[in-house]
Amino acid sequence: MNNIKSVITPRFWEALLVTVTIFLVISISIIRFESVPHIPILFSILLLFVYGFLKKVSYRELERGLVEGAGAGMSAVFLFFFIGILISSWMISGTIPTLIFTGFTLVSMTFFYAIVFVVTSLIGLSIGSSLTTVATIGVAFIGMATAMDLSLAITAGAIVSGAFFGDKMSPLSDTTNLSSAIVGVDLFEHIRNMGWTTVPAFAITLILFVLLSPEAAGASVQDVTAFKEGLSATGMIHWYTIIPLIVLIILTIMKLPALLTLALSSLSAIIISFLHQSSTASEIFSVLFSGYVSMTGIEEIDLLLTRGGMESMMFTVALVLLALSMGGLLFKLGIVQCLLAKVESLLKKVSSVIAASAFTAIGINILIGEQYLSILLTGQAFKEPYDKVGLAGKNLSRVMEDAGTVVNPLVPWSVCGIFITGVIGVSTLDYLPFAFFCLLSPILTILFGFTGKTLTFKQTK
């Protein structure tokens, strides 16, 4: 994106006015009118075209900005397609159902909040979707907390913390893939580097939930038992179904490119699926494209397992291409360069660059309420400042997740905040103080930026 050359140099007030207008268009559309982000982004692109015409920029130049911006995300697009295939193949092989079943065996009524956090973390890692985790397992845990007369706010905080830990660290997560692709960092290198902030945040969060948990409770575990029985009824819970996960881990350790790793793990899952499925080749192809459809008859189980396929990634692919196209126009019209030049004098230290990028991601979440845009716009705007201070790209992708992905559920009017409140019936402001993992992640990433710990530089200084 930084290779896109601007064709004009706008005045600062013009660049600021255009940027604020775009923020208002997107935020009002999403927050007030509950629009998907695609439509206001498309309107913003048209707005940038109008501004370009007023500045006498040719249509061909503006179109070139669109194409160059979208081109920066093509590697992400292909990765998303393989993620969709991986999820559906892991479903038909039984890998994901087995991982979820294993997670439920950990549930006990002692240290309830801590167990909720651990189980939702495991399931979030397994399926790579925070909102799906909240809408399925989260609802079950809220029911259990209600039956035991435990704090719903703390339970919700544990659910959100675990779900977004999984969303952040899972190789199946679209935000994780998006962050690594935007900056041009290998997916698994990105995940390993996030461990420096994520592991301490996870450990502190777990300790806090242990301390908050009741010593014992005698309530029924009927909800959990029903889930386990439903998963067992699928006939896909077997020890050998974890082989695709082992393949993924081994190939990751071998540092094979992410795309090849995902493809080979998917292939192993497809082979294993024939051990307990009587699917034909045409049915397998259909599942890989359209996703796996669970038909256990248990609504919660079917909602949890009906996932994957290339088709499921189209929403994200469309959003990525639109947002990157808008970013290409912002660079082509010199708007991003103008704004960054104004604060360039403040971005000469490593600590200030990391803090600025983190607060930008947080600010976009608060102003617009959209998780993907907080990642996309922060990544586009701060590539060059990170290069100038000698920081490797994986530092930026880590900040984008620490201050972008996990902050969205803390904003009451955000996409995640509204969804979670609607699903589990606990307001964002009630669970916010107890979403420890989401609160700790941006704090730790900024703190490490000021101390210089865990940072990777392009060249040894």
pTM of the model: 0.70
Mean pLDDT of 60-87: 82
Please give the torsion angle defined by the CA atoms of residues 256, 260, 263 and 266, in that order, rounded to the nearest 10 degrees.
0
**Cβ atoms of residues 185 and 459 within 8 Å:** no
Structure token pair of residue 312? 């499921």
pLDDT digits (tens, 9 = 90+) for 347-406: 778 888 899 899 989 988 887 667 877 888 788 778 888 888 888 889 999 999 999 989
Percent of the chain, pLDDT > 70?
91
pLDDT > 90: percent of the chain: 27
Both tokens of residue 293? 């459809």
Give the closest residue to 415 by CA, choosing from 364, 368, 357: 368
Q: Is residue 31 part of a domain?
A: no
**314-332 and 174-183 are packed helices; what angle lies between their axes, rounded to 10 degrees?**
30
**What integer pLDDT is reported at residue 119 of this predicted model?**
86
Would residue 406 be called left, alpha or beta, if left means φ above 0 and alpha means ψ between -120 and 50 degrees?
alpha
> Which long-range contacts link 33-37 to residues 24+ away (Cβ below 8 Å)?
34/418, 36/315, 37/319, 37/323, 37/370, 37/372, 37/373, 37/415
Instruction: Tell whether 235 is covered by a domain.
Output: yes
Helix count (H) and strand count (E) of the chain?
Answer: 24, 0
Q: Is 18 inside any structural domain? A: no
| 104 domain residue, yes or no | yes
Taking residues 10-28, report their average pLDDT.
89
Question: Each residue of 436-459: pLDDT tens digit?
Answer: 999 999 999 999 988 888 888 876
| Structural domains in the chain (count) | 1
Q: How many CA atoms lie within 13 A of 156 on its CB side?
A: 22
Residue 98, in any domain of the structure: yes
Q: The tokens 């970013």 sit on which residue? A: 327
Give the whole-angstrom CA distance, residue 38 versus residue 373: 11
Task: Choose from 81-95, 306-320, 431-445 the range with maximum mean pLDDT.
Answer: 431-445
**pLDDT at position 224, please?**
65
Instruction: Supply 68's token pair.
Output: 């160059």
Residue 185 forms part of a structural domain? yes
pLDDT of residue 48: 94
For residue 246, what are the domain limits?
A: 75-313
Q: Report the distance separating Cα 259 and Cα 246, nearest Å.
A: 16
Q: How far apart are CA 328 and CA 310, in angstroms?
A: 26
Indicate whether 267 belongs to any domain. Answer: yes
In this prediction, residue 217 carries a pLDDT of 47
Residue with tokens 């050359």, as numbered in its chain = 5
The three-state DSSP-derived secondary structure of 299-341 is HHHHHHHCECCHHHHHHHHHHHHHHHHHHHHHHHCCHHHHHHH
Structural domain includes residue 157: yes
Element (H, E) at 384: helix 371-388
